[in-house]
């Protein structure tokens, strides 16, 4: 499985249920990587998507504790085990974990690759993911530094080293 996220210098990913910043090139990369693939997210991430709707042209799986949650265009699952069962028919490289914090934490042990947009800024945040620079991962590819207005960022590809 793969993970995809945008993080700040402290590996923050959000605040009050929203992403920290919207960077068009990051959105473009997200689309390119995930189109036609399977995306796994939590209920709060689904709610934060445009219109609170599943992503077009992707197989959407939503992990929720709410047994009554039904989402048109998505499959609701209620445990990591149930999600893994649904995902077993797909190739690992076709599965992307897209957040939020709890989902990243629960699925990180199953991921072998992480696509990270690393933003050189420190936001006020309340949601974080594991710092992959410290957790048995290594960077295998880094883009040139990019800018969006006064923000500097780069795209990094991490590969798990502890499996």
- Provide the CATH topology of domain 2-160: Dihydrofolate Reductase, subunit A (3.40.430)
Q: What is the pLDDT of residue 138?
A: 97
Domain range summary for the chain, segments of one domain joined by +:
2-160
Question: What is the distance between the alpha carbons of residues 93 and 70, in angstroms, rounded to a whole number?
Answer: 27
Task: Give, for 59, the enclosing helix (H) or strand (E).
Answer: strand 59-63
Is residue 38 helix, strand or coil? strand
Q: What is the pLDDT of residue 163?
A: 65
Q: 17 Cβ partners below 8 Å, 6+ apart?
A: 44, 47, 48
pLDDT tens, residue by residue, 40-52: 999 999 999 999 9
pLDDT tens, residue by residue, 64-73: 999 999 999 9
pLDDT tens, residue by residue, 90-128: 999 999 999 999 999 999 999 999 999 999 999 999 999
Over residues 122-141, the mean pLDDT reads 96
């Amino acid at each position: 499985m793969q993970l995809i996220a945008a993080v700040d210098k402290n590996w923050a990913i959000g605040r009050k249920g929203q992403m920290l910043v919207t960077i068009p090139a990051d959105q473009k990369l997200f689309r390119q990587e995930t189109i036609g693939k399977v995306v796994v997210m939590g209920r709060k991430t689904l709610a934060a998507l445009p219109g609170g709707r599943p992503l077009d042209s992707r197989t959407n799986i939503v992990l929720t504790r709410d047994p009554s949650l039904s989402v048109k265009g998505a499959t609701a699952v209620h445990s990591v085990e149930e999600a893994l069962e649904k995902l077993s028919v797909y190739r690992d490289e076709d599965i992307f974990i897209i957040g939020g914090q709890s989902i990243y934490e629960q699925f990180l042990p199953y991921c072998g690759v992480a696509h990270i947009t690393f933003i050189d800024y420190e936001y006020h945040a309340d949601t974080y993911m594991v710092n992959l620079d410290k957790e048995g991962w290594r960077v295998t590819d880094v883009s040139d530094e990019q800018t969006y207005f006064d923000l500097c960022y780069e795209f990094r590809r991490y590969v798990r080293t502890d499996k």
